[in-house]
């Protein structure tokens, strides 16, 4: 009878464990790994933005694979006393499982780093981002450094320059684009060409106010007169009507650009850890004028409590506030471009397998 009871206990425990452990490990393990990858990815991105602000070399460590084996261990037995007339026997069981994860990392370097980070963003990718719902002014401010005669702080595409950047007229043009876009008067399409691919910016006329804004935009872009169809191309042909040169940034250039929104303590300026930028009058340039509505990374000696993402670097905490929606939007935008640029270069995407082995 004792053997039968033990066998029943073992059979019941095995059936219960094999039927529950596998699905439960998938339900909870997959979500846990997913959250861990997502959180460490955004922390790594923020860390590299801070590094760029300090002119430190960036490094991206990719998770190339995740595998996890699950071992199930079962035990059963009987316990009690056998002493007439009050004999008692009680069956018992024990179930335990051990997870053994294997995570593989690979640094992003060599030709892959050059292709992914140093190559200019393709105009087709700019179009994808536009149709993904990102505001046209955010796309252009981060990843376009020249639009016709307008300069968007081209030297900010690299380490912090010593001279103040030129950007005001570019911002005026992108603000006009945003106002037209917000009113539903902008359509952006791809224009393949043998001479050089481009984008067609088609504007819809709706009242005199539209005419005024379009005329101002065309004047800023250096066009001879108002037009409701503007061609944005990297290589405009001489004499091409309505064509404006567009020079895109690379992914690394866009990261350098927004990294100027990383605030650093005054003592780091004083000892030269971070370069000081000055205008023509010799006054210190405030980079918040450039990145104020794009990115703000704060710093402090203590770990922040209400941060969207935070990292510890050079003895300080750097973070993006959870209620800073502009910074969070730009940060998510950069993260999406990072994934977009790496789509055809990555090897094996993170894989999670959970084989169940009963012992």
Q: Pull the structure tokens for residue 313.
A: 């670097």
What integer pLDDT is reported at residue 1 of this predicted model? 52
Spell out the domain ranges in the chain. Answer: 2-108+348-358, 121-249
What integer pLDDT is reported at residue 99 of this predicted model? 73
- The widest CA-to-CA distance across the chain, in whole angstroms, is 111
- Phi, psi angles (nearest 5°) of residue 163: -105, 145
Q: Look-up: residue for tokens 């002493």?
A: 83
85: preceding bond cis by omega (within 30 degrees): yes
| Cβ-contact 221, 173 below 8 angstroms | yes
CA distance 297 to 259: 8
Cβ partners under 8 Å of residue 33, min gap 6: 66, 68, 350, 352
What integer pLDDT is reported at residue 341 of this predicted model? 82
Buried (b) or exposed (e) across 343-354, using 16+ Cβ within 10 A? eeeeeeebebeb
CA distance 39 to 24: 22
pLDDT digits (tens), the chain, 359 positions? 555 545 555 555 555 555 555 666 666 677 787 888 889 999 999 999 999 999 999 988 888 777 777 666 666 555 566 666 666 656 656 666 677 778 887 777 777 777 888 999 999 999 999 999 999 999 999 999 999 999 999 999 999 999 999 999 999 999 999 999 999 999 999 887 655 679 999 999 988 789 999 999 999 999 999 999 999 998 888 878 889 999 999 999 999 999 999 999 999 999 999 999 999 999 999 999 999 999 999 999 999 999 999 999 999 999 999 999 999 999 999 999 998 887 544 444 444 444 444 44
Q: What is the DSSP string of 250-306?
A: BHHHHHHHHHTTB---HHHHHTTSSPPPB-TTSPBP-THHHHTTT--BEEESS--SS
Q: Pull the structure tokens for residue 278.
A: 């000055």
Helix (H, G, I), strand (E, B) or coil at 195: coil
Q: Pull the structure tokens for residue 307.
A: 């941060």
CA distance 296 to 321: 9
What integer pLDDT is reported at residue 21 of this predicted model? 58
Distances (CA, A) of 205 to 92, 134, 255: 81, 23, 36
Cβ partners under 8 Å of residue 25, min gap 6: 70, 97, 99, 354, 356
Cα-atom radius of gyration of the chain, to the nearest Å? 29
**CA proximity to 28, closest of 65, 68, 63:** 68
Q: What is the DSSP string of 84-143?
A: TTS-EEEEEEEEEEEEEEEEEEEE--HHHHIIIIISBPPHHHHHHHHHTT--HHHHHHHH
- 259 alpha-carbon distance from chain centroid: 13
Q: Look-up: residue for tokens 């101002």?
A: 216
Cβ partners under 8 Å of residue 3, min gap 6: none
pLDDT tens for 87-116 read 665 665 666 667 777 888 777 777 777 788
């Amino acid at each position: 009878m004792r053997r039968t009871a033990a066998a029943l206990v073992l059979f019941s425990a095995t059936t219960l464990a094999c039927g529950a452990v596998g699905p439960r490990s998938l339900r909870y393990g997959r979500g846990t790994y997913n959250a861990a990858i997502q959180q460490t990815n955004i922390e790594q991105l923020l860390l590299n933005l801070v590094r760029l602000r300090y002119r430190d070399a960036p490094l991206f460590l990719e998770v190339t694979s995740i595998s996890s084996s699950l071992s199930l261990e079962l035990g059963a037995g009987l316990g009690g006393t056998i002493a007439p007339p009050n004999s008692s026997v009680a069956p018992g069981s024990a179930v335990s499982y051990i997870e053994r994860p294997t995570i593989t990392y690979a640094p992003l370097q060599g030709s892959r780093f050059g292709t992914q980070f140093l190559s200019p963003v393709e105009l087709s990718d700019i179009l994808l981002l536009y149709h993904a719902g990102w505001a046209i002014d955010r796309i252009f401010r981060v990843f376009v450094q020249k639009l016709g005669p307008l300069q968007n702080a081209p030297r900010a595409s690299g380490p912090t320059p010593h001279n103040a950047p030129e950007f005001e007229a570019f911002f005026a043009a992108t603000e006009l684009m945003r106002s037209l876009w917000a009113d539903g008067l902008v359509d952006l399409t791809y224009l393949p060409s043998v001479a050089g691919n481009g984008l067609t910016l088609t504007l819809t006329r709706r009242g005199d106010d539209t005419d005024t804004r379009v005329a101002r935009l065309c004047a800023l872009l250096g066009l001879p007169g108002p037009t409701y169809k503007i061609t944005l191309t990297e290589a405009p042909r001489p004499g091409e009507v309505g064509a404006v040169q567009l020079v895109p940034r690379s992914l690394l250039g866009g990261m350098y650009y927004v990294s100027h929104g990383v605030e650093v303590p005054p003592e780091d300026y004083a000892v030269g850890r971070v370069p000081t930028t000055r205008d023509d009058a010799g006054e210190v340039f405030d980079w918040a004028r450039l990145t104020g509505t794009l990115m703000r990374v704060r710093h402090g000696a203590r770990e922040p409590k209400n941060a969207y993402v935070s990292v510890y670097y050079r003895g300080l905490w750097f973070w993006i506030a959870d209620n800073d929606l502009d910074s969070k939007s730009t940060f998510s935008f950069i993260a999406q471009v990072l994934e977009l640029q790496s789509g055809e270069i990555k090897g094996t995407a993170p894989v999670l397998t959970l084989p169940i082995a009963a012992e």
